[in-house]
A and B are shown apart, each in its own frame.
Chain A
Amino acid sequence: MKKLTIAAIAASMMATAIPASADLAIPLLSYRTGPYAPNGIPYADGVEDYLNMINARDGGVGGEMIKILPCETAYNTTKGVECYEATKGEGALVYFPLSTGITYQLIPKATADDIPIHSMGYGRTSAANGKVFSHVFNFPGTYWDAASIIVKHMMDMENGSLDGKKIALVYHNSAYGKEPIRTLQELSAKHGFELVLLPVDHPGQEQKSTWLQVRKEKPDFVTMWGWGVMNQVAISEAASIRFPMDRFIGVWWSASENDVIPAGAKSDGYKAIAMNKPGTDFGVYADIQKHIIDAGKAAGAGDQVGAVLYSRGVLNAAYLVEAIRTAQKIHGVSDITPGMMRDGLENLKINQARWTEMGFDGFTSEIDVTCENHGGPGLGAIQQWDADSGTWSLITDFVGSDRAVVDALIDEDSTAYASENNISDQCS
C-alpha cells in the first residue's frame, strides 16, 4: 500500500513536472489545408524541420528545448484568432502566422499581451517603423521594398527608363494584395509608367477575365501579388495567352516550385523576387538531412525539402532561434519570456560570418535590427525559373530598394497609425 502511494505520488509529480519544465514554446500557425495549402505546407515543413533539427543537434537553444505548438488556420483570420488565443496561454514566445490578414488582426492584440510578431516580408509594411510598432518585426524586407526592387529590375530590362511603359499588377484582393499599390503609384509618378490594377478575388481560381484584360491592355510588364492556388492559375493563364514569361515578375510569395510546375514547360523564364538563394548547397541542409530526414522525423510528407518556401521556413526559424539566443544573452536567463523574445528580435544582428557559422554561407543578406528599424535591410534579388531542369536561379545580385520612396511611405502610414491609436515614440 505504501509503495503504491509513493508510486502514485511520483507519477503525479512527473505528470505535473512535464509541463512545468521550461520549454521554449513556438506556436506554428500553419495551413496545410484549403486553397493556400500549396504554399503553406512547404513553409510549415521548413520551420518544423529546422526547429526539430536544433533540438536534435544542439539539444535546444541554450539548454532549453524548443516546443512547437502547431495550429491549423487554413489562412482564415477567425481561425487565426482562435489559434492565437489557444496557444498564447502556453507561453508562446513569438507569432509568425504567414498571413497578412492574421497579422493585421494580431498586431494590437499581441502588442497588448507583450508578445512579439515576426511577419517576415509580409504583414503590415509600415510596421518596419519600430518607433510605432514596438512588437512587430518584418525584416529582412517589406512588400514596398519588393515592389521597388521589381520595378528596378524592369527598368534594367528597359535600359534604365520606364517612361511611357505600362505595368499591370495582378493582386489578391485582400490587405495582402493591396499592400504594394501605394508604392507602385508613387513609383509610377516618379518613373512615368502607367499602372494597371487587376484584382483577383479569393481564392483565385477564376482569372479568365483578369487575363483577358491583360490581353486587352497589353502591358509591358506584369507583376503579381498572389498566394496559394492563385499563383498557379495566374502563371498558367499567362502562359495560355502567351505573355512573355520573363516580363512576368512575382513577389517573393509568388515564387515557389508549386506555383510554376502546374504550367509545365510554358512557365519557363518566369521571374520572381527572392530574399534568399534557392537550392540546397548549404551547411544547414546537411544537418537537416542528417538529424531529421535520415532519422525519419521529417515534418509533413517530407517531399518539400529544398523548395523555395521550405527554405524560407528554414530561414524564418533560423532568425527566431538566433533571436532566442540574443534574448538569452541580453537577459542572462535561458528560459525566456515573450517580452525578452521581443528584446532578442530587436537586437538581432547576424553578419555573414555568423550566417556561415550557422550553416547559411551566402544564403541571404546580413541583418541588423534596431529599435527604429524593424524592417531590415530590404534587399532582394531576382530569380528565374528554368522549367527544363526544374530549378530556380538568381539572375541578379541582392540589391536595395528605392529608400527615398519607401521610407517616406512607411513614415506616412505609421505616423497615421500612431496618431489614430495614441502611440508615442517607443524608442526614446
Chain B
Amino acid sequence: MFYREAGDFKTSYKSDQQTFPLKLDKILFWLTVAIAAFVIPFFLNEYWEKAIFLPFFIYALAAIGLNILTGYCGQVSLGTGGFMAVGAYASFKLMTGFPAMDMFLVIMIAGLVTAGVGVLFGLPSLRIKGFYLAVATLASQFFLVWLFNKWEWTYNYSATGQINSPERDFLGIVVTGAYTKPWATYLFCLGFLFLFAWIARNLVRGRIGRSWMAIRDMDIAAEIIGVNPLVAKMSAFAISSFFVGVAGALYFSVWLGAAEPTEAFSIDQSFDVLFMIIIGGLGSILGSLIGAAFIVLLPVLFKNVFVGLLGIPTDIAEFSQIILVGALIVFFLIKEPHGIVAYWRTLKGKLRLWPFPY
C-alpha cells in the first residue's frame, strides 16, 4: 500500500537507472545513514565500538571486496586473509616510515599496494578456473603469511614479529593507538565503508561491472561479444584486493592495534569472509553487509545472551554458540541458497503487492 512505484514517475534515463528506484527505499537508506552517522556516535561506548561496530564495518568492507571478485566476476578466492595482511603490513610500514602522513592517505596507499599484489596473484586466473583457481589463491594466503613471518623488514625487525600501530591522526583527530575516542574510530571506519560501498555499487552497474558479470556468466561468450578477459579479470582482482587491503589496514591499525601474521591473518579469515558473501548473497552489496553481520555479530550476541542473561558457564556457552551459528548457516543455505539477501528481495516483492497480491 505504501511501498510501491505508483505515482513515482521517471522522466529521464538517469532517474530510471538510480540505485533506489522507489522513494521509500531512498528515504529508508538515507535515514539509516543519518542515524549511523549522526545519532549513534553520541551514544557509543567502547564496548559497542570495539566489539560490535568496528569489526562489522571492517568485515563488511572485506566482504564487499571479495564479492566484487567472487560474486560479480565469478573468480573464487581463498586469499582474503593474505590480502588483508598485505594491507595491514603496508599500513604499518607507512605509519612507522612516514610518521607525519595522514591516516586516510596511509590506508589508501595500503589499498593500492594490496591491489598490486592482488593482480600478481590473480594472473593464474587467466588460465585456470573454479576450484583450481581457489587452490591457486590459497597458495597466496599461505605464501603471504609466511612472508610476513619471515621477512624481518616488514615488521621492523621487532623481536617477536608482532606489529603495533602507533598513534596517528586523520585531519588532526586521533584514529589509531590507545587514546582514541570511540566516535572517532567509528566514524572513520563508517566513512570508509560508506565511500567504498558507494564506489562498488556504481562500479558494478557500470560498463566494468557488466564486463565482470559477462565473464562470470560465460567467459567464452563474453570474449566473443568483445569483453577482454584479461582486463576484466585483472581489474576485478585489483579492485577487489584494493577493498580487502583497505579492510586489512583498518583491521590492524584502527581496530586491533597489534597483530601477528599467523593468527590475525590466518586461513580462518579467508574462510570467514567467503562464508559472509555466500550466506549474505553472492553478487550483492547489501548481501555483503548482511553476511558480515551474520558471521561477526551473531557469536557476540549469543555469547552475551548465554553468559550475560542466562548465566551459562563460559565454555558451554562457547560450544553452544559454535553449534548454533553452524546450524544457522546450514539452515539458511538449505532454505535460501541465494543468501539471506534473497529474503529481503522476496519481502520487498511481497510488500509491493500488499495487501492485494495476485
Establish whether residues B178 and A108, one from each chain, have CB atoms under 8 Å apart when the complex forms: yes
Quick check: which of B6-14, B28-36, B155-163, B212-220 contacts chain A, the rest being far away?
Answer: B155-163
* Known pairs A78-B256, A109-B257, A173-B149; A32 contacts B160 (CB<8 A): no
- A178 contacts which chain B residues (CB < 8 A)? 159-161
Binary A-proximity of B165-188 (CB < 8 A = 1, otherwise 0):
011000000000111000000000
- Whether B260 pairs with A420 at a CB distance below 8 angstroms is no
Option from A32, A76, A175, A421 in Cβ contact (under 8 Å) with B162:
A175
A176 CA / B160 CA spacing, docked (Å):
7
Please determine whether A70 and B314 come into contact, CB atoms closer than 8 angstroms: yes
Return the contact of A175 from the options B96, B160, B166, B178 (Cβ within 8 A).
Answer: B160
Most chain A CB inside 10 Å of its own CB: which residue of B160, B167, B262, B266: B160
Contacts of A211 on B, CB cut-off 8 Å?
Answer: none
Supposing A33-B319, A74-B318, A111-B178 touch, asked if A104 and B159 sit within 8 A by C-beta, the answer is no
- Given the interface pairs A74-B318, A109-B178, the reply to whether A421 lies near B166 with Cβ below 8 Å is yes
Report B241-293 residues with CB < 8 Å from chain A CB. Answer: 256-260, 262-264, 266
List chain B residues, Cβ under 8 A from A342.
Answer: none
Q: Which of B49, B50, B262, B315 makes the CB contact (< 8 A) with A32? A: B315
Q: Is the CB of B314 within 8 A of A72?
A: yes
- Chain B minimum-CB-distance residue to A412: B159
Asked if B162 contacts A85 (CB within 8 A), the reply is no
Interchain CA distance A86-B263 in the complex, whole Å: 22
Whether B300 is near chain A, meaning CB under 8 Å from some CB there, is yes
A217 at the binding interface (Cβ < 8 Å): no
Chain B residues in 8 Å Cβ range of A108: 164, 177-178, 257-258
* A80 → B minimal CB distance (Å): 10
* Contact between chains at A89 and B45 (CB < 8 Å): yes
B46 CB–A CB distance under 8 Å: yes
Q: What does the 1/0 interface line of A106-133 toward B look like (CB < 8 Å)?
A: 0011011000000000001000000000
Kindly list chain A residues whose C-beta atoms are within 8 Å of the C-beta of B55. Answer: 78
Residues in B neighbouring A176, C-beta threshold 8 A: 160
CB contacts (< 8 Å) of B303 on chain A: these are 72
Q: How far is A77 from B252 in the complex, measured between Cα atoms in Å?
A: 12
Nearest Cβ in chain A — how far from B93, in angstroms?
14
Interface residue from B149, B258, B266, B315 paired with A104 (Cβ < 8 Å): B258
Nearest chain A CB to B53 CB, angstrom units: 12
Asked if B47 lies at the interface with its beta carbon under 8 angstroms from chain A, I say yes
Chain B residues contacting A88 (CB-CB under 8 Å) are 46-47
Residue B227 lies at the interface, judged by CB distance under 8 Å to chain A: no
Q: Is A208 an interface residue (CB 8 A)?
A: no
Contacting residues of chain B (43-64) with chain A, CB-CB under 8 angstroms: 45-47, 49-51, 55
Name the CB-closest residue of A to B304: A86
Which one of B50, B167, B263, B307 contacts A174 once the chains associate, using CB atoms below 8 Å? Answer: B263
Taken together as a complex, chains A and B put the C-alpha atoms of A172 and B38 apart, in Å, by 45
**Cα(A30)–Cα(B161), bound, Å:** 24
Tell me if A's interface is mostly helix, strand, loop or mixed.
helix
**Bound form: Cα–Cα A30–B313 in Å:** 12
Option from A72, A100, A175, A421 in Cβ contact (under 8 Å) with B318? A72
Best-buried of A88, A175, A178, A182 by chain B (most CB within 10 Å): A175
Flag whether A105 is at the interface (Cβ < 8 A): yes
Within 8 A of B (CB), among A193-229: 199, 201-202
Q: Nearest B residue to A32 by beta-carbon distance?
A: B315
Q: Does B314 contact A174, Cβ atoms closer than 8 Å?
A: no
Q: Does B317 contact A (CB under 8 A)?
A: yes
Question: Quick one: given A173-B262, A175-B161, A413-B159, are A77 and B256 in contact (CB under 8 Å)?
Answer: yes
* Pairwise interchain contact A82-B159, C-beta atoms closer than 8 A: no
Q: A30-B314, A105-B258, A174-B262 are in contact. Are A81 and B50 (CB under 8 A)?
A: yes
Which residue of chain B is the closest to A178 with respect to CB atoms? B160
CB of B177, distance to nearest CB on chain A (Å): 7
Assembled-state Cα–Cα distance A373/B319 (Å) = 41
Query: Are B260 and A174 neighbours in the complex by a CB distance under 8 Å?
Result: yes
How many angstroms from the CA of A78 to the CA of B160 in the assembled complex? 19
B264 touches A77 (CB 8 A): yes
Task: List chain A residues, Cβ under 8 A from B300.
Answer: 82
Q: Is the CB of A32 within 8 A of B314?
A: yes
Interface residues of A in 11-37 (CB under 8 A from B): 30, 32-33, 37
Identify which of B51, B149, B159 gathers the most chain A CB atoms within 10 Å of its CB.
Answer: B159
Q: With contacts A32-B315, A101-B263 known, is A82 near B50, CB below 8 A?
A: yes
Question: 11 A-B contacts, Cβ less than 8 Å apart?
Answer: A32-B314, A72-B303, A72-B314, A77-B259, A82-B50, A85-B47, A124-B160, A173-B149, A175-B260, A178-B159, A421-B166
4 pairs of A and B residues whose beta carbons are closest in the complex: A32-B315, A108-B178, A112-B178, A72-B314
Other A-B pairs beyond A174-B262, A179-B160, 6, CB < 8 Å: A70-B307, A101-B263, A104-B162, A176-B160, A202-B266, A420-B166
